[in-house]
């Protein structure tokens, strides 16, 4: 319990530091008046907003006003949409989350069997092909992969749509493209694109895990006992290689949300990532600032969850911290 509270306090402190860095960054690089107030605003409106946002006061007071507004969920209005920036981001979050979720499912469902196969048949042509593919998956820049996917599967073969999210279905109160056929059809290519890097990673982990576990006594014992090969692989081997893979999947969720920026932009997927790129291009700064804060908070929460999960799986971590 002490550990949990410690980590929570650390996370809160980190959020505080990051909010300061973002604010100081805005303050250092440009005039906050230009960044937070619409350039098209009239002179009277400008003066009113400067007072309202406290931009006429000294730096430290401004920061506390900024922080106070953040804590009340007030991130300013978007210049482009003229609506609260936070609302814009939150309403696009589900699309990004479902894309990241689909990518993880693809990486795990394809990656584990391929990796286990490459580990069991180490050195065979099939195994080498899988490993060569995974190296290629690492090397090819994500955005170029996306273009190639569109070129081959949308333009040449015409199997998948080029862009968009498709129909959104509702199931158990959750609205997602994953619940309609049309939506699944739309999410396939972007999800594969986002998954490829992680697929390569899962394949590597599953392969090295398989090779390690395979040589251990309990597998040899299971063989000696005369268990069938599928049972050995599916029950005894799989269970023992899963822990590092589960950890990877948990830790990489944040990375997927970050990389979704690229995938979403290319496939015109209406998520947070596309919103931030559009906002940077259109100089819609309140949305950019709000996105930065939201993404930092997401990352702090994710890191916290991973740390807590770790300490559940491996009690030694908790003890080490307590001893300090």
Partner 1 sequence: MSVTDTQPTTAPPLTPKAQAPERPAARIIRDFARSPLALFGLALLLIIVLAAFLAPWITPQNPYDLRSLSIMDSRLAPGEVGFSGVSFWLGSDGQGRDMFSAILYGLRISLMVGVIACTSALLLGLTLGLVAAYFGGRTDTVIMRLVDLHLSFPPILVALILLAIMGRGLENIIIALVIVQWATFARMGRATALSERGREYVEAAQSLGLSRIRILFGHLLPNCLPPLMVLYTVEIASAIALEATLSFLGVGLPATQPSLGLLISNGFQFVLSGQYWISVFPGIALLLLIVAINLVGDRLRDVLNPRNIT
In the block, residue with structure tokens 């014992």: 221
Q: Is 262 an interacting residue with respect to partner 1 (CB under 8 A)? A: yes
Half-sphere exposure of 74 (CA within 13 A, CB side): 9
Query: Rounded to an integer, what distance in angstroms lies between the CA atom of residue 19 and that of residue 206?
Result: 39
C-beta of 24 vs 234, nearer to partner 1: 24
Give yes or no for residue 39 binding partner 1 (CB under 8 A).
no
141 binds partner 1 (CB under 8 A): yes
Q: Is 147 in the site for partner 1 (CB under 8 A)?
A: yes
Determine if 42 is a binding residue for partner 1 (CB under 8 A). Answer: no
Q: Which stretch binds partner 1 (CB under 8 A): 83-91, 102-110, 165-173, 258-266?
A: 258-266
Q: How far is the CB of 215 from partner 1 (least distance, A)?
A: 21
| Distance (Å, whole) CA 307 – CA 305 | 5
Binding status of residue 25 toward partner 1 by CB under 8 A:
yes
Q: How far is the CB of 255 from partner 1 (least distance, A)?
A: 5
Query: Stretches 56-64, 101-109, 218-226, 287-295: which one binds partner 1 (CB under 8 A)?
Result: 287-295
Does 33 help bind partner 1 (rule: CB under 8 A)? no
CB of 42 to partner 1, least distance (A): 26
Distance between start and end Cα atoms, the chain: 15
Task: Using the rule CB under 8 A, give the single segment among 47-55, 114-122, 208-216, 262-270 that binds partner 1.
Answer: 262-270
Part of the chain binding partner 1 (CB under 8 A), chosen from 64-72, 117-125, 211-219, 272-280: 272-280
The residue range among 38-46, 81-89, 117-125, 273-281 that interacts with partner 1, by the rule CB under 8 A, is 273-281
In the complex, least distance from residue 217 CB atom to partner 1, rounded to whole angstroms = 27
What are the C-alpha distances in Å from 290 to residues 27, 213, 284?
15, 46, 10
Examine residue 293 and tell whether it contacts partner 1 (CB under 8 A): no
Q: For residue 170, what are the β-bridge partners?
A: 175
Least distance (Å) between residue 315 CB and partner 1: 22
| Minimum gap (Å) between residue 20 Cβ and partner 1 | 13
Binding to partner 1 in span 157-186, by CB under 8 A: 162
Tell me the site size for partner 1, rule CB under 8 A.
35
Structure tokens at 299: 């990352």
Q: State yes or no: residue 295 binds partner 1 (CB under 8 A).
A: yes
State the minimum distance, in angstroms, from the CB of residue 291 to partner 1: 8
Residues in contact with partner 1 by CB under 8 A are: 14, 22, 25-26, 29, 139-144, 147-148, 150-151, 155-156, 162, 254-255, 258-259, 261-262, 265-266, 276-277, 280-281, 288, 292, 295, 299, 303
């Amino acid at each position: 319990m002490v550990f949990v509270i410690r980590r929570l306090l650390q996370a809160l402190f980190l959020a505080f530091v990051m909010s300061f860095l973002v604010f100081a960054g805005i303050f250092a690089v440009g005039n906050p008046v230009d960044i937070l107030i619409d350039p098209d605003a009239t002179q009277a409106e400008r003066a009113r907003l400067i007072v309202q946002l406290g931009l006429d006061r000294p730096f430290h007071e401004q920061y506390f006003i900024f922080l106070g507004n953040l804590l009340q969920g007030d991130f300013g209005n978007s210049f482009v949409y003229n609506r609260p920036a936070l609302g814009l981001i939150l309403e696009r979050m589900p699309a990004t989350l479902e894309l990241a979720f689909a990518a993880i499912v693809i990486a795990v469902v394809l990656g584990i069997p391929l990796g286990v196969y490459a580990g069991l048949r180490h050195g065979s042509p099939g195994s080498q092909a899988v490993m060569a593919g995974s190296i290629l998956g690492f090397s090819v820049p994500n955005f170029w992969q996306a273009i190639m996917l569109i070129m081959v599967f949308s333009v040449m073969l015409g199997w998948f749509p080029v862009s968009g999210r498709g129909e959104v279905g509702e199931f158990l109160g959750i609205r997602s493209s994953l619940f309609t056929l049309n939506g699944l059809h739309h999410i396939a290519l972007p999800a594969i694109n986002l998954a490829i890097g992680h697929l390569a990673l899962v394949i590597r982990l599953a392969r090295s895990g398989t090779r390690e576990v395979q040589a251990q006594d309990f597998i040899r014992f299971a063989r000696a006992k005369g268990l069938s090969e599928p049972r050995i692989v599916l029950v005894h081997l799989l269970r023992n290689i899963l822990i590092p893979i589960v950890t990877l999947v948990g830790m990489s969720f944040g990375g997927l949300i970050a990389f979704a920026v690229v995938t979403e932009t290319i496939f015109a997927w209406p998520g947070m990532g596309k919103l931030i790129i559009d906002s940077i291009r259109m100089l819609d700064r309140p949305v950019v600032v709000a996105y930065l804060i939201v993404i930092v908070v997401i990352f702090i929460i994710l890191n916290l969850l991973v740390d807590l999960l770790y300490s559940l799986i491996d009690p030694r971590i908790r003890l080490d911290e307590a001893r300090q």
